[in-house]
């Protein structure tokens, strides 16, 4: 149908829902060709600064940025609790977005040296980009306290509903999700991003802002459970993680050391339990 070429025209900017952009494409289905508008997930550089000191640049979907700032700060150990993050300023620059954070004097981020910026930008699919040393990478989280058990039927209910809480992925097909379900398996909160780590950080930040107790429910992630996803969850006080894809061996070891229940290959009708099996009842 016609000879339109992909890229003939483009509509710049985000859709009203945020996090996605409209672009003109060439759609081919068998012998049929047609020009069409398509929704594509946005990905922009997001710089994290603490008290004026640059720390990292992440590639992220530009929505829920305050949640990202808070969740990233907590899961990376730059603040110990929400009260240490005093202010978040979102500044749109020509090159991207700056999240300028002000932290209290007792926050770990307040002691960053002027040259603390990570060596590399954090790419959307990378959880280690920018780490300075091996010591930065393998910092095990502290063991969790007062972890609770959940019914298998609640996990199954949450997994069945996960797709309904991924609106950005439904229109773009390229984002990950992190979702929070209560003890009955009802998903009460979710966040999406092109980066799985960013989606989790956004969810952690949103949970803190809404006052959700991290040990009172289950975390579901639409990605694999690599070691840093498990570490972020444990540092946030989350004791139950279910991943749609597989875990890594290091993630399993960290989950066991932290007392975290880790489920992989999670589907509505079946899954593998890699750590904390006694905390999944039924």
Residues involved in catalysis: 126
Q: What share of the chain is helix, strand, coil (3-state, %, to 5)?
A: 30, 35, 40
DSSP E strand stretches across the chain: 10-14, 20-29, 32-41, 44-50, 53-60, 85-92, 97-103, 150-151, 176-181, 187-193, 218-221, 240-243, 261-267, 270-275, 280-281
Cα separation, 43 vs 231, in Å, equals 24
Pairing label, strands 261-267, 218-221: unpaired
Cα separation, 201 vs 59, in Å, equals 13
Cα separation, 169 vs 171, in Å, equals 5
Burial of 27 (0-12, 13-18, 19+ CB in 10 A): middle
Which of 19, 11, 10, 12 shows the shortest CA–CA distance to 170? 19
Question: How distant, in Å, are the alpha carbons of 111, 183, 249 from that of 195?
Answer: 28, 27, 21
Which of 174, 16, 178, 197 shows the shortest CA–CA distance to 124? 197
Cα separation, 61 vs 42, in Å, equals 5
């Amino acid at each position: 149908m016609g000879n339109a070429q992909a890229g003939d025209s483009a509509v710049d900017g985000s859709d009203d829902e945020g996090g996605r952009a409209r672009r003109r494409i060439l759609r081919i289905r068998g012998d049929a060709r047609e020009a069409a508008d398509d929704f594509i997930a946005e990905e922009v550089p997001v710089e994290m600064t603490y008290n004026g000191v640059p720390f990292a640049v992440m590639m992220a979907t530009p929505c829920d940025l305050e949640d990202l700032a808070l969740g990233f700060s907590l899961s990376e150990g730059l603040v110990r609790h929400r009260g240490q993050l005093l202010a978040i300023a979102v500044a749109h620059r020509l090159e991207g977005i700056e999240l300028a954070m002000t932290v209290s004097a007792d926050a770990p981020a307040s002691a960053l040296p002027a040259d603390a910026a990570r060596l590399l930008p954090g790419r959307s699919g990378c959880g280690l980009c920018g780490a300075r040393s091996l010591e930065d990478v393998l910092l095990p989280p502290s063991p969790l306290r007062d972890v609770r058990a959940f019914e298998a039927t609640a996990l199954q209910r949450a997994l069945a509903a996960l797709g309904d809480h991924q609106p950005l992925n439904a229109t773009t097909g390229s984002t990950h999700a992190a979702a929070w379900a209560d003890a009955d398996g009802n998903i009460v909160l979710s966040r999406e991003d092109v980066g799985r780590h960013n989606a989790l950080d956004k969810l952690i930040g949103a949970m803190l802002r809404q006052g959700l107790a991290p040990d009172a429910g289950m975390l579901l992630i639409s990605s694999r459970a690599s070691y840093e996803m498990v570490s972020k969850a444990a540092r946030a006080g989350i004791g139950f993680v279910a991943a749609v894809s597989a875990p890594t061996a290091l993630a399993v070891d960290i989950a066991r050391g932290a007392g975290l229940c880790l489920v992989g290959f999670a589907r509505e009708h079946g899954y593998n339990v890699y750590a904390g099996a006694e905390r999944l009842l039924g």
